Amino acid sequence: MSEAKAARYTEGAAIVAGGSGGIGRAICRTLAAGGADVVLTYNRNREAGEAAADEVRALGRRALALQLDLRDGAAVAAAIAAGVAAMGGIHTAVYAAGPYIDMRHVSRLEPALFERTVATDVFGAYNFIHAALGELRRHKGTAIALGTPAIRRYAVKDVLSAAPKAAIEAVIRAVAAEEGRFGVRANFVGVGVITDGMYHQLVATGDFDEAFFEATRKAVALRRLGAAQDIANAVDFLASDAAGYITGQSLMVDGGYAL
């Protein structure tokens, strides 16, 4: 690990909401490789959560996996407190969670599904970031939320991703503007089409098919899909002191899709 990262992570831990998922696990591993202890949350899949924690421990860092429904504000606050008690503090908070996204045209999207999906994602992110602010102030830490480049270049049938992530980006910008006086930084990472995370489920449902992949590759400047590690590398950079003068920004890790 670099000396800068080692110094940054001497006290406390990173907490990764959704650390049991494909992207979340890559983030946990990468932060651990940089010297961070890690608290991670999972919703239902305890086995995946514990496996992610074991990967962190295999890198020589401490890990704690917590079951958490991010829609429950009191439970989120309790999870942050548990992380502080176990690790001595929280210096980095990464929102890498979110519901499964049904790919639908607005005309075929029932209001109830729109409400449920947006509420799960937006309030989950807000509860998490809000609960972490006290610790981030104490450590002059950083908040990072994952989103989508569809907030810049809309993809047809992707409103259930674009709408909540646009709101989450606004929350991140608000935190950057209001918490900078305490040394807190906040940034947003747009996740392009990658072969991890929800990818396999979207392929199974037929939302991602060969025609979609061909169109996507043509729309992406680099002409290829990404991987979870690409996202983890961006999060790792934004969490580090190398990004110490970067806040309120949205970094699209999408191969150039949103150009």
Question: CA 126, CA 36: separation in Å to the nearest integer?
Answer: 24
The answer, yes or no, to whether residue 207 has pLDDT greater than 60, is no
12 band by pLDDT with thresholds 50, 70 and 90: very high
**pLDDT at residue number 20:** 97
100 band by pLDDT with thresholds 50, 70 and 90: confident
Question: Beta strands of 68-176 (E only): which ranges?
Answer: 90-95, 142-147
Amino acid 225 reads L
Q: Where are the domains of the chain?
A: 3-193+227-252
1-34 burial, b at 16+ Cβ within 10 Å, e below that, comes to eeeebeebbeebbbbbbbbbbbbbbbbbbbbbbb
224 band by pLDDT with thresholds 50, 70 and 90: confident
Q: Which CATH architecture has domain 3-193+227-252?
A: 3-Layer(aba) Sandwich (3.40)
Q: What is the mean pLDDT of residues 57-64?
A: 98
Mean pLDDT, the chain, rounded, equals 92
β-bridge mates for residue 147, sequence order: 190
Share of the chain above pLDDT 70, in %: 90
Pairing relation of β-strands 13-17 and 142-147?
unpaired
Range in 46-60, 212-226, 228-242 the model is least confident about? 212-226
- pTM > 0.85: yes
Using one digit for the tens of pLDDT, what is the confidence trace for 23-39?
999 999 999 999 999 99
Q: What is the mean pLDDT of residues 227-237?
A: 96
Amino acid 8 reads R
**pLDDT at residue number 216:** 74
Q: What is the mean pLDDT of residues 56-75?
A: 98
Question: CA 44, CA 18: separation in Å to the nearest integer?
Answer: 10
